Structure 1
Amino acid sequence: MSINATLFVQLVVFAILVWFTMRFVWPPITKAIDERTQKIADGLSAAERARLELSNANRRVDEQLSAARDDAAKRLADAERLAQSMIEDAKARAAEEGAKIVAAARAEAQQEVVKAREVLRGQVAELAVRGAEQILRREVDSRVHADLLSRLQTEL
């Protein structure tokens, strides 16, 4: 065989190979490549959606954390105000109670002073009568001088 015939046969075999490849091999490969390209594109879009969702979720979490912190701070401030008002109320009640105790003690002391004055008046009157009796032993008439002694007692 000559080179031309060999070349011609090789060209026919090559054409058959190209036709066979284009007809039976190339479509499944192209289809697989297209499917793979589509899967990659879907995966990339899903990853982008997931990234956006993650970003949104992080933003919502940050907002909720901020709201929770604000709520906790507000509750803490309310608790502190309540505690402060309770302390102030307790101080006011203690001051009122102390004032009542002091007033009662003063009233009791005043009553004791009045009782002591009455006792002293009685003792002074008695001493005055005894003294006058000793000086005027013969002239003391208890009925006559009783009015004088009662007036003296009220004056003291």
Structure 2
Amino acid sequence: MSITGTLIVQMIVFLILVGFTMKFVWPPIAKALDDRAAKIAEGLAAADKAKSELSAANKRVEAELGQARNESAQRLADAERRAQAIVEEAKARATEEGNKIVAAARVEADQQALKAREALREQVAALAVKGAEQILRKEVNAGVHADLLARLQTEL
């Protein structure tokens, strides 16, 4: 065989090999490569979607945290205002009760002072009557009268 014949036979074998490869070998390889590329594309799309969902979730979490902080601050302020109102109300009630107690004590002290004055008046009247009786029983004498009046003064 000549080199040309060998070359032609090699070309025919090569073309048969290329045809066989393109018909039976290349489609499964191309399909596997396309499937792999599709899986990679799906993975990248899922990663992008997950990244955007994560970002949105982080924004929602931050918004809810801010809202929770605002609500807790508002509740704390409301509780402080309520506590202050309760303290003021208790102070007002205590002042009112104190005023009532002081007024009752004043009334009672006035009543006791009146009772003491009345008792003193009765005692003074009794002493005056007693002194008058003693003066009238004794003889009319200025020295004796002065002595009796001095005793009355000391008793008062």
Unaligned 5+ residue runs, structure 1?
A: 140-156
Q: Residue 120 of structure 2: SS of its match in structure 1?
A: helix
TM-score where L is the length of structure 1: 0.83
Counterpart position of 1:18: 18
Q: Residue 137 of structure 2: SS of its match in structure 1?
A: coil
Which aligned pairs between 1:17-96 and structure 2 lie closer than 5 A?
17-96=17-96
Query: What is the distance in 2 between the residues matched to 1:29 and 1:55?
Result: 38
Which aligned pairs between 1:96-111 and structure 2 lie closer than 5 A?
96-111=96-111
Letter in structure 2 aligned against 1:28: P
Counterpart position of 1:137: 137
Displacement, 1:11? 2.0
Q: Residue 136 of structure 1: SS of its match in structure 2?
A: helix
Query: What is the distance in 1 between the residues matched to 2:134 and 2:2?
Result: 186
Unaligned 5+ residue runs, structure 2?
A: 140-156
Question: What is the root-mean-square deviation in Å for CA atoms of aligned residues?
Answer: 1.5
Seq. identity, %: 66
- Kindly provide the CA deviation profile for residues 98-120 of structure 1, in whole angstroms up to 9, marking residues without a partner as x: 11001000100000000100110
Letter in structure 1 aligned against 2:116: A
Q: Residue 79 of structure 2: SS of its match in structure 1?
A: helix
Displacement, 1:138? 6.3
Query: What is the distance in 2 between the residues matched to 1:36 and 1:138?
Result: 148
**Larger relative contact order, structure 1 or 2 (CA cutoff 8 Å, min sep 6):** 1
TM-score where L is the length of structure 2: 0.83
Letter in structure 2 aligned against 1:66: G
